């Protein structure tokens, strides 16, 4: 009997946005990057510069709330979106965040990890929306994303550079940087970049 061949899972390009506005904000981002770097099925390619932004609440910018530090990570993954979401949610919980009932929507938090794009996956359901429904409007996502991918495209919305030119929320440079020695700009040749056809990404 021939040995059973394991299925080779396709890699998809992934874009993640990180944010923190409570406690040692930079330390929270660094801990998240280290945890993501050791997540099975996920490879990090680049970590962006850090920017500071005011807190967004349901009724707009809250200048009285602590400001956020934000960054973007690009990478590739063999995980399904649901499994990637589960992994990032576990890292958030380890960083002190509790999602779900009792959490203030758009409230202050030690750590926020958003899935911005996973290959060319397009889906909209109560559990997960891809691409992220507000990424095209948020300079605190677009600005650091351009730092690591100047020619980036957000699926369904177009050039990230053009979207950044239209976004009006304030973004300020932050002197600190996320300490992570494994960042690399080049993507794996087998991965599928956001905005390009991905035959494995069909989602109901």
Show which residues are catalytic. 97, 109, 112, 114
**CA–CA gap between residue 54 and residue 167 (Å, rounded):** 14
| Residue 71 phi, psi (nearest 5) | -155, 165
Is residue 148 within a helix (H) or strand (E), and if so which, with residue range? helix 139-148
Q: If 0-12 CB within 10 Å is exposed, 13-18 middle and 19+ buried, where does residue 199 land?
A: exposed
Q: Report the Cα 196 to chain-centroid distance in Å.
A: 18
User: Whose CA is closest to 71, among 174, 195, 187?
Assistant: 174
- Tokens of residue 148, six digits: 């690591």
């Amino acid at each position: 009997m021939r040995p059973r061949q394991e299925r080779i899972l396709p890699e998809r390009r992934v874009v993640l946005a990180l944010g923190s506005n409570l406690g040692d904000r930079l330390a929270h981002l660094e801990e998240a990057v280290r945890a993501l770097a050791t997540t099975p099925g996920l490879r990090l390619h680049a970590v962006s510069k850090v920017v500071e932004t005011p807190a967004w609440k349901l009724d707009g910018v809250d200048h009285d709330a602590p400001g956020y530090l934000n960054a973007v990570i690009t990478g590739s993954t063999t995980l399904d979106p649901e499994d990637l979401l589960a992994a990032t949610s576990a890292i958030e919980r380890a960083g002190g965040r509790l999602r779900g009932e009792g959490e203030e929507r758009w409230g202050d938090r030690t750590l926020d990890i958003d899935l911005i794009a996973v290959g060319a996956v397009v889906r909209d359901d109560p559990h997960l929306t891809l691409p992220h429904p507000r990424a095209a409007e948020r300079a605190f996502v677009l600005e650091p994303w351009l730092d690591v991918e100047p020619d980036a495209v957000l699926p369904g919305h177009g050039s990230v550079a053009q979207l950044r030119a239209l976004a009006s929320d304030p973004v300020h440079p932050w002197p600190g940087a996320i300490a992570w020695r494994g960042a690399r700009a080049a993507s794996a040749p087998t991965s599928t970049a956001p905005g390009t056809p991905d035959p494995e990404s069909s989602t109901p």
